[in-house]
Structure 1
Amino acid sequence: MSPTEEKPYKVGLALSGGGARGIAHIGVIKALLEHEIQVDVIAGTSAGSIIGTLFAAGKSPEEMKTFVESASLIRSLFPARPNKGLLNLHYLNKQLSKHIKEDSFDALKIPLHVNMTKLSTGETVVRHSGMLFEIVCASCAIPLVFQPVIIEEETYVDGGLLLNLPTSVIRDQCDVLIGVNLIPFREVPEKKIKSVKSVLERCFDLTIINHSQLEREICDVLIEPEAVSDYHIFQFQKVEELIELGYQSGLKAIPTIKEKLELVKH
């Protein structure tokens, strides 16, 4: 689309995956709301799909924080191990159903797009209508950690595997696209990648970073808090710190967002 073509929405918000780092999205949203930046359409991947769902359902940042703390995402994402040896996302589905009245994209207050990865074809699949909770769970199903999610006889895993920052999903739908990327590139000291866990996390990050470059470039405004790299993807106990980190990064982006909005005024 050219800049002169009319688009259905003014402001789009793309929320990346990142495990526990996704809690920082709450802080970014808080900054946007405080400065009356109205979001008209959302795309979310993995952890970004959870926060995106809560936001699209009309939950305030404080309610999102309560969800993260009361649902205890540690329990949500680490229930008793099933027979297959992988973890399941049943508890996450259950918590979503407790906090959101209808299991439907169509009942949301803001249009939402969630992407997941289809294992059989190796393609990104985006949903924006129909049943909601199982799609969010599929988008969060990190390979080799969680059981894949079966939807309509197809097997799906984490959307971040192929599209962690889903800016392209809504690029043509909005005038100003804000992307929040919580897996930014940063060199890591050699001494910090000695354990098996740290090596696996670094490999996970590098794979996603490589796939996200184009998605970063098509944002009008990119919010990418570098300090988020100090938190690993399963560090769910750092709720306050992560929200504040996202909030401060969001505040820094406000002037640029307002400038972009001025440019598209008709």
Structure 2
Amino acid sequence: MIFTFKKCFTFFLFTELAFTLEFKPNIKCTYKGKKPQAILFQGGGTLGIIYAGVVKGLEEKGLLTNINKFAGTSVGAQAASLLAFGFTGNELIVAIKNIPLQDYLDGKPGIIRRVFNLIKNYGYYIGKNIEIYLEDLFVSKYGIEKCTMQQLYELSGNELRVGVCNLITRQYEMIDRHSHPNMPVSVACRASSTIPLFFEPVYWEDKMFVDGALNANLPAHAFPNTPSLACNLVSVLESTQNNFSKPTNIIQYIRAILNIIFYASQEKHGRITDEENTDTINIIYPNNIGSCDFDISEKQKNELIKIGQMAVDKYINISFHHPIDF
């Protein structure tokens, strides 16, 4: 019975996270002629390591100097927050490469205890260690524990917006210094990264938050009327294939249905239109690394970072009308 539940839960998790492997908000690299003032990061689980390479590449090209607005969902929220705190490209690489992914799977040991926690607290794992790790990083910059959204703005002058789903209102929301001035940034990042049922939801005042990727994996409209740069994650398979085969088993059938639901939500909140002042960086990642790989090797981390840097090179070449192939 326990083994069956664990198997089913694992299937649900991988199906849920498979969302990020299909139907991205935008699958192209574009340049619209204006230097970005904001940067947007899509969610993508452990694939967010790619963003360390992106930031390093943008920094080397001098494209971060004009940016003081940051937004992200899930792991994208973590990347956006680290940038808002002033982490450099090299610092971000160290921080992201050292993320204790296995420690993120926190809580009491044993399947029975975790199943009980799932039933009682709505999470197989707690998810507190995500907050703890980020909190330590944030403190290392300003020496302020539980630095709030408002304090971050006062210290840095940077605007930060984090995408979450509010289970009370059933709506996608942005946490920022206006809506939640007293919320610690580490708590906001945890809320945005809380995969439903996998981690416990985050409670704040009278609200109940889970991963914003359920409704908008990319916070495409975080800063309206502001020239922005959106970082999207696209698989090698997806970048070359637009047609999906007919489901031939129950797993494929459920995944297809869930993808339709996910795609509909992205159309509403995560789609970038041609009329918007938003450039896009098309970040291609290898299919042998998944968004839920918590045992990712050092070699794989370096591979993802390199891909992020290559994506920036592609963006730079397109911006100067000299596209290149990788």
| Common fold by TM > 0.5 | yes
What is the root-mean-square deviation in Å for CA atoms of aligned residues?
3.1
75, 84, 96: which is aligned to 1:56? 84
Alignment of 1:3-152 (within 5 A): 11-38=37-64, 39-76=67-104, 78-81=105-108, 82=114, 83-85=116-118, 86-101=124-139, 102=144, 103-105=147-149, 106-107=151-152, 109=156, 110-129=158-177, 130=181, 131-152=184-205
Alignment of 1:136-215 (within 5 A): 136-172=189-225, 174=226, 176-182=227-233, 186=238, 187=241, 207-213=261-267, 215=271
Q: Which amino acid aligns with 1:41?
A: K
Distance 1:205 1:27, change over 3 A: farther
> Which SS does the other structure have where 1:20 is aligned?
helix
Cα distance, 1:46 vs structure 2: 0.4
Distance 1:37 1:89, change over 3 A: same
CA deviations over 1:226-245 (Å, ceiling 9, x no partner): 33555311124132111111
Calculate the TM-score normalised by the size of structure 2. 0.66
Q: Distance in 2 between matches of 1:75 and 1:200?
A: 30
Alignment partner, residue 216 of structure 1? 272
Aligned residues: 247
Distance 1:104 1:255, change over 3 A: farther
CA deviations over 1:2-40 (Å, ceiling 9, x no partner): xxxxxxx95111101011111111111111100001222
Q: Distance in 1 between matches of 2:307 and 2:36?
A: 26
Q: Distance in 1 between matches of 2:47 and 2:250?
A: 20
CA contact (8 A) 1:21 1:228 kept: no
Q: Distance in 2 between matches of 1:65 and 1:99?
A: 13
Q: Distance in 2 between matches of 1:154 and 1:112?
A: 20
CA contact (8 A) 1:165 1:216 kept: no
Q: Does 1:252 align with 2:314?
A: yes
Cα distance, 1:128 vs structure 2: 1.4
296, 301, 307: which is aligned to 1:239? 301
Cα distance, 1:88 vs structure 2: 1.6
> Which SS does the other structure have where 1:100 is aligned?
helix
Of all paired residues, the percent bearing the same amino acid is 21
Distance 1:209 1:94, change over 3 A: same
Q: Which amino acid aligns with 1:117?
A: C
Cα distance, 1:199 vs structure 2: 8.1
Distance 1:88 1:46, change over 3 A: same
CA contact (8 A) 1:49 1:114 kept: yes
CA contact (8 A) 1:115 1:125 kept: yes
Cα distance, 1:140 vs structure 2: 0.5
Distance 1:257 1:148, change over 3 A: farther
CA deviations over 1:93-148 (Å, ceiling 9, x no partner): 11111111232223253321101000122111111123211111110011121111
Moved more, 247-256 or 139-148: 247-256
